[in-house]
Amino acid sequence: MPSLARRLWPVVLVVIVACGRKPAAAPSAYADPRACAACHQEIAASYKQTGMARAFHKATAADAPETPFVHKLSGRKYQFQKREGKLFLQRTEEDGGNAIEKEIQYVLGSGNHAKTYLHKTPQNRFLQMPVNWYPREGGYLAMSPGYDRADHMDMRRTVGYECMFCHNGYPEVARASSADDPVYAGAVPEGIDCQRCHGPGREHVEKPGKGNILNPKALPKARQQEVCMQCHLEPTSFPLPNAIVRFEKGVFDYNPKEPLSDHVVHFDHAPGSDRAEKFEIASSAYRLRQSKCFLASGDALTCTTCHNPHAVTTQFDAACSGCHKTLAASHPAAKKDCATCHMPKRRTEDVIHVVVTDHKIQRPPAKKVDWLAARTERHETLGTTSYQGEVALYYPAKLDSDLYPAVAQVMNQSNLKAGIPRLEAALAKQQPGHPAYYVQMAQAYHAAGEMAKAIPYYKKALEKDGSYLPAQRSMGATLAQMGQLAEAQAALEGATKGHPEDSLSWLELARVYRQQQKGADALVAVRKAVLLEPELVDGHVALGMILLDGGDRAGAETAFRAALREQPDQADAHTNLGNLLNAKGSLAEAEKHFVDAIRYQPRNVAARYNIAVFLANLRRFADAIPHAREAVALEPGNLNNRDLLGNLYAAGRQWREAVILYRETLKMNPGFPRAQLGLGTALGAMNDFAGARIYLTQAAQSADPAVRAEAAELLRTLP
Ligand code: HEC
Ligand code: HEC
Ligand code: HEC
Ligand code: HEC
Ligand code: HEC
Ligand code: HEC
Ligand code: HEC
């Protein structure tokens, strides 16, 4: 389940989206999943009862409770609405503001442990909703994993291909790489079906009988296990990465007839790290593989030793006793319910409302542990609070090259410093043909702050495939950050020409146009971005800025309001709206937006500056000063903030504070005329006329005519 939490962490750089891959091999080798039941009635009927068969379904009224749910940290209220046979999830702020509603067409999860509500957008993206239903304690709504924080993703997180891969049959997709913008343009199956474990079945349906469809029983034991591990192996759902689908493959290309490691390579935290004993939701295979029972019995122990894949029944007592024919005379229990003591149910670390069976079979701890104790959710930020250390190859045990292990070090910034030279060496040695490897290298350099070194690798990726979108777009964004606007524009125009469906490229391009004062081009580009992806909040904010540049205040207001409907905590939209409303004279409403900006993003310097100016204009100096002070603390080198604070001190007649501030400012920047003027004024007000004269004389010689004039005027009034 995991990438739940995963998709919340801010991705550094631009998220890699859409790639140039052609559609994955058309699923023509697959039969209609409903076909199997005609001949295998008994298996189909019992399989239908399992959680797997019910893992993805069309939403019905019965999926949603009536009672609303209020999330305290974000101050949002969620309530399901049922109308005309359809289900909707409505969100408002606690005061009723910023109401938004999305239709819930699908539910992911049988509800054995959880249900996640999904909205399918008109552009065929699935958006995961911020509330889940959990069945414990009679059933209740609570936040989805990763969302229990003030600044959660609300209704904006797209459901990636990996998530769908583990939770459903194979959907029709236009593009299929994990680097793609996950769009689901065709039919969406409803539940994990027979062919996910048996492989393509069309030939078998046409010529029923033995030998032309995979029977996992015929595979060696380790390979049988892989049929389940394609979905049940997830070493961790926290940023690492835990698995990398080979860049040459599409996510949905896996066929259980092939070795799993030809499709995906799994990674884990380094042995001995503080993560060694983690317990997460999709951990059955990972934990089982740590058991002595597994390690000491060759490949004999597989999932099907205890589980019938076609039914909900689990036969463990017989399985345990099959290997443990006799128990020590001192064994504390009778020969039954082995799992109660040896495979306890435990609360998971990544989905804190869920309890699952620990598949690491072991002696119970000598001291009793409360496996169900409540937990608070852990949030990790890439490169800072996320795991830092070696990313260890987990499955397969060995690979014939260091390429993927090297990629794994840098992909989520777990081991950036050591990983960069490793990946560089592996690329030089292997010279792989797929552009994605070089994009990884470039993004690693970008993450390490070495943007100039990223560019040659983006170029190398584009040598491999001139229309590879992740390379085009990320290169454009990096060049823009480096101030090379003409080159950035060229790269991004290439991206939008080759991939006119890619919203993020249009947004980046709009920003680059705007930086070059090409307002009309910027407007066209940004409008494309929000049309292609209406949930793209940054797109609405950029649209607002661009309209504002062109003097369209009403249009800008609409755009900022649209941003806030999607994301009520977007601080820049609040600040801009505050300024617009202030200019219109709607002071009370303006103030509310300024205050919200600070509430949601206390460390946003522009927000602090703008609210201070707003309050100062209302002559509320005492209210303004703390914000200006905070702006100075956040960006000590910014002279505008210092000037504002100094003026506020002066307006409030806090001369002593003004003197301290101006002296500090002049120490950093001795020639700053407005600080000379301010210090001279403050000293004069405190009757230190000699001191005042020194600074006013300096100010009177400055290059700034306004400062010069004022200083001269004040010098004349000095006694
Ligand atoms: C590597 C495969 C994998 C990925 C990726 C993955 N999951 Fe899961 N998820 C699982 C497995 C396996 C389980 C069942 C775990 C168990 O019962 O022990 C599960 C359980 C769940 C459940 C509880 C279902 C139930 O009632 O038992 C939900 C809901 C869920 N996942 C949502 C998601 C969402 C949403 C995503 C993507 C954002 C996701 N998962 C990504 C494998 C995965
Ligand atoms: C038209 C009838 C029919 C349909 C439809 C059908 N099967 Fe079969 N299946 C058979 C027959 C007959 C056998 C052979 C049974 C035997 O000899 O024991 C078989 C055998 C199998 C076997 C065992 C193969 C082996 O070599 O051991 C599997 C697995 C299987 N089917 C899966 C499926 C799946 C999955 C589907 C749907 C994609 C499906 N079947 C659709 C009739 C059908
Ligand atoms: C979660 C994976 C999974 C799913 C889904 C699944 N199977 Fe199987 N199936 C297996 C495994 C594993 C075996 C081999 C079992 C064993 O080792 O005895 C198997 C065996 C079979 C066999 C051969 C039975 C025999 O006695 O040899 C048939 C037939 C079959 N499956 C049909 C189906 C049909 C039809 C469906 C869909 C309704 C289905 N399976 C869904 C995993 C799966
Ligand atoms: C396509 C991905 C996928 C494959 C392949 C897969 N599983 Fe699952 N499995 C899941 C997910 C997802 C869940 C949780 C579904 C839910 O309840 O919503 C699950 C649930 C289960 C459960 C919980 C009971 C239940 O009613 O579903 C068992 C047991 C299980 N799987 C065993 C297996 C075994 C054994 C295999 C291999 C033969 C296997 N799975 C293959 C994804 C998969
Ligand atoms: C495929 C055979 C097999 C199955 C099935 C199996 N075990 Fe084991 N188990 C072993 C082996 C082999 C060992 C290692 C014995 C040793 O090291 O002396 C072991 C070790 C253990 C240990 C000792 C672990 C430790 O940390 O010292 C426990 C407890 C245990 N098994 C319980 C169970 C239970 C309970 C089940 C059923 C849920 C089970 N086993 C199923 C083969 C199996
Ligand atoms: C030694 C026996 C044994 C083996 C082997 C085993 N399981 Fe389980 N599994 C259990 C038991 C016992 C439960 C709990 C069943 C219950 O509560 O009814 C369970 C439950 C589950 C569940 C449901 C999650 C939950 O709520 O507890 C999933 C999913 C699952 N197993 C997947 C797997 C997979 C995948 C494998 C192979 C990697 C596997 N199991 C191997 C004994 C086993
Ligand atoms: C009431 C809890 C409980 C139940 C039920 C239980 N065990 Fe144990 N088992 C223990 C404890 C506690 C130990 C550790 C004893 C020790 O360390 O000396 C243990 C130790 C073991 C060991 C390792 C020592 C030995 O005797 O070889 C095995 C194997 C084992 N159990 C298997 C089983 C099997 C198989 C079952 C079911 C038939 C089972 N247990 C049921 C509590 C239980």
The pLDDT tens digits of the residues spanning 522-580 come to: 999 999 999 999 999 999 999 999 999 999 999 999 999 999 999 999 999 999 999 99
The atom of ligand 2 lying closest to the CA of 216 is: 29
Residues near ligand 1 with C-beta < 6 Å? 1-4, 7, 51, 108-114, 116, 128, 159, 162-163, 166-167, 231-232, 234, 281-282, 284, 356
Mutate to test the pocket of ligand 5, among 287, 301, 316, 323 (most ligand atoms within 8 A of CB): 323
At 591 the pLDDT is 97
Residue 300 DSSP one-character state: -
User: Does the C-beta of 196 come closer than 6 Å to ligand 3?
Assistant: yes
What residues have CB less than 8 Å from 586, skipping those under 6 apart? none
Q: Quote the ligand 6 centre to 572 CA distance (angstroms).
A: 48
Q: What residues does each domain of the chain span? A: 3-357, 402-524, 536-601
Which has the closest alpha carbon to 16: 408, 412, 401, 543? Answer: 412
**What is the rounded distance in angstroms from the CA atom of residue 690 to the CA atom of residue 201?**
95
Give a three-class secondary structure readout of 145-158: CCCCCCCCCCCCEE
Angle between the N-to-C axes of helices 537-549 and 519-532, in degrees from 0 to 180, rounded to the nearest 10: 160
Atom of ligand 4 nearest to the CA of 227: 37
Helix-then-strand count for the chain, H and E: 30, 15
Instruction: Quick: pLDDT tens for 117-155.
Output: 999 999 999 999 999 999 999 999 999 999 999 989 999
Q: Average model confidence (pLDDT) for the chain?
A: 93
Ligand 7 within 6 A of CB of 321: yes
- Which is more confident, 112 or 174? 112
Q: Which residues contact 446 (CB under 8 A, 6 or more apart)?
A: 12, 13, 454, 474, 478
pLDDT of residue 125: 94
Which residue from 48, 110, 197 has its CB within 8 A of the most atoms of ligand 3, so it is best to mutate? 197
Instruction: Look at ligand 3, atom 40, and give the residue with the nearest C-alpha.
Output: 194
402-524 with 536-601: one CATH topology?
yes
Q: Which CATH class is domain 402-524?
A: mainly alpha
Rounded CA gap, 538 and 563, in Å?
7
CA-wise closest residue to 98 among 71, 77, 119, 123: 77
Name the closest ligand to CA 50: 4
Looking at the domain 536-601, which fold is it?
A: 1.25.40
Min mean pLDDT across 54-58, 162-166, 215-219, 329-333 is at 329-333
Instruction: Please tell me if the CB atom of residue 57 comes closer than 6 angstroms to any atom of ligand 4.
Output: no
